[in-house]
Structure 1
Amino acid sequence: MPMQKNSTDRVDPRVRRTRALLRTAALELAAERDVESLTIADIAERATVNRATVYQHYRDRDALLLDAMEEEVTRLAHAAARCPLTRPAKRTPDELVALFRHVGTNATLYHRMLGPGGAARFINQLRDLLAAEVAAQLPPTNAPADTVSLRTHYLAGAFVGVFTQWVSLGDDRPTAEEAAGAVWALLRGTTTA
């Protein structure tokens, strides 16, 4: 994440440009190779800035990656929000298929970020955002807040786990429609052929 600034401060256009360069460089490199192997020096070189400049904007590599992925995580969370989890079990919601298509379109990046060499902060942020979207879809209940929180994080963790496995299969993975159908069957407690 970018270093904290006073909300009344204007962000200099040069700062915005530099951060944009750094985010782009980080995402490009994350799509090309293992996230754990990325260094600040690699990102600085790709962004055509020096290492000191990177540290003026981010405290470490993971903070930069998290900021770079924030838009993607938000996009995924919004896609998840459109996926109604309370529909009848008969038919897989189109929104769930669209969610898998979104992840599939960005499969290389998700594979790098969610895989064994991925960034833990990214995974935690993704899970927390998905849990918030799941919570918004659950019908009101008298259950204690802790119980609801466990349920929402269980479902969010399941989505993160499914996405992680699905993108790791590469070209051999099931289609978005097949994956969504299998996940929908699991969510609804039904079976698929």
Structure 2
Amino acid sequence: MNPDDPRARRTRARLREAALTLAADADPGTLGVAAIARTAGVNRATVYAHYRDADELLTDAMEDALSQAARAAAVCPLDAPPDRAPAPIRDLFEHVAANAALYRKMLGPQGSPRFAARMRERMIEELTPRLTRDEGAPDPTEPPADLHAAYLAGALTGVIAHWTASASPTSAEEAANMAWMLMAGGIPSAD
């Protein structure tokens, strides 16, 4: 099957929409291919023609959100004051707040390990070039850029998981500010 075929793209879009609709009301770990197929109006074989399992489908459905999260983490000004989150981090937390139920489910104990891993991977991909120094030999007193990116990606994913799972979460702005304070401690100044 050609993934660029317009019919295949439409089918994948319907499957992603069905998966997100169902995931809003059920734990992603219990979301089955049969239910997704029924909601999308296709048979199970059609789902398997496009995805290995429901978890892969749901992770693909969340790819836009993952990209937004990764870009937000990567475009933050590295020298922003630690007491107020830069706009990209605030925007990220506003996005997560608007989709808190889905993030809570995807990053929670019954969620999708594939989604959490993909979220960290996307952030690492975006952050590593930003943290790579162009000048000369690497500074032995600083961690390698990919390790630093992995640290920040894991921290941000963990903060989002914890915040969305909280019984009484703070506002998106407060969560963004707290996350930034933690992240800013781990980001070298851009000098």
TM-score, with length taken from structure 2: 0.84
**Which region of structure 1 is more displaced relative to structure 2, 132-141 or 34-43?**
132-141
Describe how 1:55-70 pairs up with structure 2 within 5 A.
Answer: 55-70=48-63
Q: Measure the CA separation in 2 of the matches of 1:62 and 1:148.
A: 30
Instruction: String of CA shifts for 1:55-94, please: whole Å, max 9, x gaps.
Output: 1111222221122111221122222233223323354322
- Cα distance change, pair 53–10 in 1 and its aligned pair in 2 (3 A): closer
Q: Which runs of 5+ in 1 are unaligned?
A: none
- Cα distance change, pair 31–185 in 1 and its aligned pair in 2 (3 A): same
1:152 aligns with 2:146: no
- Cα distance change, pair 16–157 in 1 and its aligned pair in 2 (3 A): same
Q: Out of 12, 24, 31, which is 1:19 matched to?
A: 12
Q: Measure the CA separation in 2 of the matches of 1:35 and 1:10.
A: 25
Tell me the amino acid that sits aligned with residue 77 of structure 1. Answer: A
1:44 aligns with 2:41: no
1:162 aligns with 2:159: yes
1:174 aligns with 2:170: yes
CA contact (8 A) 1:84 1:95 kept: no
SS of 2:24's equivalent in the other structure is helix
**Which region of structure 1 is more displaced relative to structure 2, 177-186 or 110-119?**
177-186
**Which region of structure 1 is more displaced relative to structure 2, 72-81 or 48-57?**
72-81
CA contact (8 A) 1:77 1:129 kept: yes
**Which region of structure 1 is more displaced relative to structure 2, 70-79 or 142-151?**
142-151
Instruction: State the match for 1:79 in structure 2.
Output: 72
Q: Measure the CA separation in 2 of the matches of 1:113 and 1:21.
A: 20
Runs (4+) of structure 1 exceeding 6 A deviation are none
Q: What is the RMSD of the two structures over their aligned residues, measured on CA atoms?
A: 2.4
Instruction: State the match for 2:91 in structure 1.
Output: 98
Q: Measure the CA separation in 2 of the matches of 1:151 and 1:80.
A: 13
Tell me the amino acid that sits aligned with residue 40 of structure 2. Answer: A
- Tell me how far 1:10 sits from its aligned partner: 7.2
Tell me the amino acid that sits aligned with residue 178 of structure 2. Answer: A
Tell me the amino acid that sits aligned with residue 179 of structure 2. Answer: V
Q: Out of 174, 182, 191, which is 1:186 matched to?
A: 182
Q: How many equivalent residue pairs?
A: 182
SS of 2:7's equivalent in the other structure is helix
- Tell me how far 1:115 sits from its aligned partner: 0.8
- Cα distance change, pair 88–10 in 1 and its aligned pair in 2 (3 A): closer
- Percentage of matched positions with identical amino acids: 47
